[in-house]
Structures are given as structure tokens and as C-alpha cells.
Amino acid sequence: MAKRKVWRSRVGGSDTATAPRRGTPFIGIDVGGTKILGVVADGITANFQQRIQRPTPKDPATFADGILAVAEELLGEFPSVAGIGVGVPGLVDHAGVLHYGPNVQGVLGLDIAGQLMTRFSVPAVAENDGYLTALTEHRLGAARGHDHAIVVTQGTGIGGGLIVGGQVLRGANGFAGEPGHMLINRFGHRCACGRDGCWEAVASGAGLANLARDVVEEGKGSSILEAAGGDIDSIRGEHVAEAYADGDPDAKEVMDHFSWWIAQGIGSLIALLDPSIVVLGGGLSAVADGFIEGVSEQLTPAIVGGDHRPVVPVVAAEFGPEAGAVGASLRARDFVING
């Protein structure tokens, strides 16, 4: 695969690029399965001057156009932007090409950074969205100062990244950091990726809904079902959270099971990577009081030799829905300086 550091030849930069002046604006764009979030920030802090949100095009053929339109809108407002970072949900190689993403089916081999540079003559770089979320938490948030950390964000799926040796792990191809697709339950629920038993299928928003449906199918969970309008297929994580907040015991059972599963996956990751902190984010960690504490309590028995090693703190992410877009702006500035 091609190497990075291509933009200088394309846009006329030099090998002796110096750091942009402080305050120079950068665009950060986070592309999700349903929406595109764009911010303008300084590439150093998480303070953004602008924030816009647009729907992700449903048609793979216009997927790139949706991203280009967000960039164009922000560039119109901030013509002095020095670089653009884009996070996309899937396997992104070292050259920034998106190869595949379960939530953006049909988008294959997309060089969105190349398209942005060609169209706007601004340096641009594309990354996996989870990589950028982890970058934000590592540089500015809850994983700050930790050379070894795990950042897990729970939305519809599982995102985040692995911090190893002081850097967010890329791996050989740039595809590292997909803990949602560890096999954890041989005969488990179907995952969005098409396989059965992934961690994501029991530990994401979709996973919480799966666990709730199990309980409803046992004839329990009437409050959850009611919150979902009486349709089992419409149950979402939020419905569980709603019933749980109302003190429903069946919803509590589901939430306990859910946090157990989260602890099991984190335990596996700790056995592998030995981090000094685990950061949980992405919305679901806020759905229920005491949720992170519940995960923590179940963690020691989920780690090999758990009684013989330091407790690994599980903490809430410091950044919310903007973590990916902020990370994209940080990465944009790095890219302009270092490629």
C-alpha cells in the first residue's frame, strides 16, 4: 500500500514544514453511519469555533459528496483553514483509504483525503473514527498521561482505540483497534458485521437491545417492551435505560448482564494489553447511574490473575459526541507538520 506524506508533492508543501501559527484553523470531520459532524478548531485544544452536523448520504455513490459538502461549507466560512482531518467508520489504511466498514456498506476503496485535496487544495488526511476518538482522549482527555490505555466507545456499535507505548495503535496496515469484533460468545447474537458472537453484539447499544429482547422473549421486561411501543424489534438501548431509570427490576437485570459482558471484554483486553486505565465513552456509559461502577465491580474476576495485579481504573470519557471530530482536527494539524 502507498505511504502517507503524499500531500506535499500534490499541494506544493516542503519537507521543512514548520508548525502552523497558533490559532490557525483546522477542520475536523467525523463521519458516522447516520450523520456527519464537522468542526473548526485549532488542532491543539478541543475548543471549536464552529460545529455543523449533516446527514450521512444513504447511497454509497454519494457518500463522498456528503463529506465534501461539509468541508466546502466550513471552508467557505473559514478560508484560512490549513488542513482537514476526516474520520470514517471502517478499515482505513496508512494511505488514508477506506477499505470497508460494516456501517457504510458499499463504500469500498474510498480515498476521501485525496478527493478533498484535489477539490480544495488543502492538506487532508483520513483515519479510522475510533482512532481519532482515542487520540482525543489520549491527548486531551481521560487517558492523558497513560502510555497504555484502552478507549472503548459504545454507540450503536463499539468504537475507540488502543493506546500502546504512548501512541494510538495503527498496526501493520492501519486496521488495528477493533475490539468490538473479538469473538466472545460462540453461540451468541448476530453482529452488524454478519458474524455471530462478537463483543459488539452484547456490549454496544445494539448489544443492550439484544440482551433486552432475550429477556422479553422469556416473557419478562414488559416495561421495556412498553417503552418500545410494544414491538420487540423496535427495542433500543434507550428503552432499557428508560425502564431502568423508572426502577424496573427486569431492566436492572438486563443492565447488570450488559455490564457483565462489558467487563468480560475489557478483561480480555487487559489480559492482552495490560493498560493502566480503561476509558468508557460514547453515550451508553451515561445512560444509567452507577453504570461504570457496575462494570468496575465485575472486572477483577474477568481478568486472568485479577487478584494478583493492580486494579485498572475504569473511567468515563471526558469527551462526548465531538471526540471524533476534535481528534480529526488534532490529526489534521499533525499531518500538516509531520505528514
DSSP, residue by residue, 146-213: -SSEEEEEESSSEEEEEEETTEE--TTTS----GGGSB--TT-PBPTTS-BSBTHHHHSHHHHHHHHH
Is residue 132 a contact residue for its own copies (CB under 8 A)? no
The count of residues in the chain is 339
**Site membership for its own copies, residue 267 (CB under 8 A):** yes
Does the footprint of its own copies cover residue 127 (CB under 8 A)?
A: no
CB of 102 to its own copies, least distance (A): 7
Does 268 bind its own copies (CB under 8 A)? Our answer is yes
Residue ranges in the chain assigned as alpha helix (H):
7-11, 63-77, 112-120, 129-139, 200-203, 205-217, 222-227, 237-245, 249-273, 291-297, 323-338
Tell me how far apart the 2 most distant CA atoms of the chain are, in Å.
67
CB nearer its own copies, residue 201 or residue 328: 201
Cell of 76: 467557505
Sort 76 into a burial class: Cβ within 10 Å, 0-12 / 13-18 / 19+. exposed
Q: Choose the stretch contacting its own copies; rule: CB under 8 A; options: 34-42, 53-61, 70-78, 301-309.
A: 301-309
Task: Note whether 100 binds its own copies by CB under 8 A.
Answer: yes
The answer to whether residue 276 forms part of the interface with its own copies (CB under 8 A) is yes
User: Which of 59, 147, 289, 293 is the binder for its own copies (CB under 8 A)?
Assistant: 147
Annotate each residue in 308-337 with x if it binds its own copies (CB under 8 A) or - if it does not, as one string: xxx---------------------------
Q: Please report, as ranges, the residues that interact with its own copies according to CB under 8 A.
A: 90-91, 99-102, 108, 146-148, 162, 164-165, 167, 169-188, 193, 195, 198, 264-265, 267-269, 271-276, 301-305, 307-310
